[in-house]
Amino acid sequence: MSHPAFPPLAKSSAFCAALFWLAPGAPLSAEPLAYVTAQGADALSIVDLAQGRVVETVKIGKKPAGVAVAPGGLRIYATNPEGRSFSVIERGPDGRHRVIAEIACGAGPLGIALDPAGARIFVADWYGNRVHVFDAERLREIAEIAVGQSPAGMATDPEGRFLFVANRESDSVSMVDLATLKSVAEIAAGKAPFGVTYDPHGPRLLVANVQSGDVSVIDLATRRETRRLKVRSFPYAIAATSDGRRIFVTNQHDDSVSVVDGETYAELKTIAVCGYPEGALLAPDRRSLYIACWMDDVLARIDVESLELVDKIAVAASPRAFGQFIAPDAR
């Protein structure tokens, strides 16, 4: 397979490392873009966050849900649960996007994540109870990792030592050693854990438990749940500010976002945001939290300081944006 127009992202670790250090305004680092999987449109809505509007819509596979943007933002992966595949999208030097592959993967590919270098792709198979591992350069499957039942959300630590996988039907999180690609621990969480976020403060893992309506705080030194934070109905995904001060949780059935103090764990506010808030992520500017609103077909923006809803950006039908839908922070 060759990509004449553009070198594959994960060509070498040096290449990836270089991308981390590109200054804003450098040719490869344009405006931050959000890649919103639109389940109802079989498409990816590409939102220019500075302009606050969709700049491109790319058709991908069937009923897309999970998404992961590689460091540097030139590669985007999105799962198509009903197509039993994931799509690989590249951003060219002209800023346009094109699908370079759709890769068959398991029985119910849902969550998708990358290692910090963007060299390996992890796809959680909801029905297969395993994580499929692909080499990002060759786009070939290199391993399968047995995890719990109905794996959903995933996250890695910044050093890329571990992958954490929420097992929705096992009420647990699998901790996978990324050197051996084996699960080394299964950590008990609440009922039906779905979204998982790694927070370097602690370090701790934040896990949204859909059915118990709370968030598990897992201490990574002891690999145990140390706290349970009550939120609203059907929590789905979690975003944490880089300074560790704020934790945001989307509550699907409550149409809201819970804001929790990251130090005291006190609930600060519940923000009425939109119908069925799903994926949540902080923008590189650290001032904006973006939320995909599945029912309302918008990407909502919340101001992280004022905790107010400040914008709604129209996107294609039934946005989910489950995963790292903006390129990871380049620091």
Partner 1 sequence: MKFLALATAVVCAALAAPALAHGPTRQKLVETVEIDRPVDKVWAVIGNFDALAKWHPVVASSAADKGNEEGSTRILVLRAPGAPSFAEVLLKYDGAGHSYKYEIPKVDPKILPVNNYTATISVLDNGKGGSTVEWKGAFYRGYMLNDPPPELNDESSVAAVKGVYRAGLDNLKKILEAAP
Shortest Cβ 12–partner 1 spacing (Å): 35
Among 168, 204, 246, 301, binds partner 1 (CB under 8 A): 168
Stretch of residues binding partner 1 (CB under 8 A), selected from 107-115, 137-145, 216-224, 301-309 = 107-115
Omega prior to 151 cis, within 30 of 0: no
Query: Residue 87 burial by CB count (10 A; 0-12/13-18/19+): exposed, middle or buried?
Result: buried
Q: What does the per-residue mask of binding to partner 1 show for 18-37, with x meaning CB under 8 A?
A: --------------------
Paired tokens of 319: 């946005």
The edge-to-edge listing of strands for the beta sheet with 140-146 is: 109-114, 120-125, 130-135, 140-146
Our finding on whether 198 is near partner 1 (CB under 8 A) is no
Our finding on whether 40 is near partner 1 (CB under 8 A) is yes
Q: What does the per-residue mask of binding to partner 1 show for 231-270, with x meaning CB under 8 A?
A: --xx------------------xxx---------------
Our finding on whether 107 is near partner 1 (CB under 8 A) is yes
H/E element, 89: strand 85-91
Q: How many residues bind partner 1 (CB under 8 A)?
A: 26
Q: What does the per-residue mask of binding to partner 1 show for 263-302, with x meaning CB under 8 A?
A: ------------xx-----------------xx-------
Among 37, 39, 209, 258, binds partner 1 (CB under 8 A): 39
Among 31, 82, 186, 219, binds partner 1 (CB under 8 A): 82
Selection from 45, 99, 108 nearest residue 77 by Cα: 99
Among 183, 212, 318, 324, binds partner 1 (CB under 8 A): 318
DSSP tally for the chain: helices H, then strands E: 1, 28
Shortest Cβ 232–partner 1 spacing (Å): 9
Among 65, 240, 274, 302, binds partner 1 (CB under 8 A): 65
Among 71, 73, 81, 118, binds partner 1 (CB under 8 A): 81
Shortest Cβ 31–partner 1 spacing (Å): 30
For the chain, percent helix, then strand, then coil, each to nearest 5?
5, 50, 45
Nearer to partner 1, 108 or 262 (CB): 108
Say if residues 255 and 231 touch (Cβ distance below 8 Å).
no
Query: Residue 330 burial by CB count (10 A; 0-12/13-18/19+): exposed, middle or buried?
Result: middle
Helix (H, G, I), strand (E, B) or coil at 17: helix
Among 33, 105, 110, 163, binds partner 1 (CB under 8 A): 110
Our finding on whether 178 is near partner 1 (CB under 8 A) is no
Selection from 41, 53, 33 nearest residue 298 by Cα: 53
- Given the structure tokens 């109802």, which residue do they identify? 40
Say if residues 87 and 100 touch (Cβ distance below 8 Å).
no
Q: What are φ and ψ of residue 180, in 5° steps?
A: -100, -10
Paired tokens of 237: 């995904």
Nearer to partner 1, 295 or 314 (CB): 295
Contacts of 2 (CB under 8 A, 6+ apart): none
The residues binding partner 1 (CB under 8 A) are: 39-40, 63, 65, 81-82, 107-108, 110, 126-127, 150, 168-169, 192, 233-234, 253-255, 275-276, 294-295, 317-318
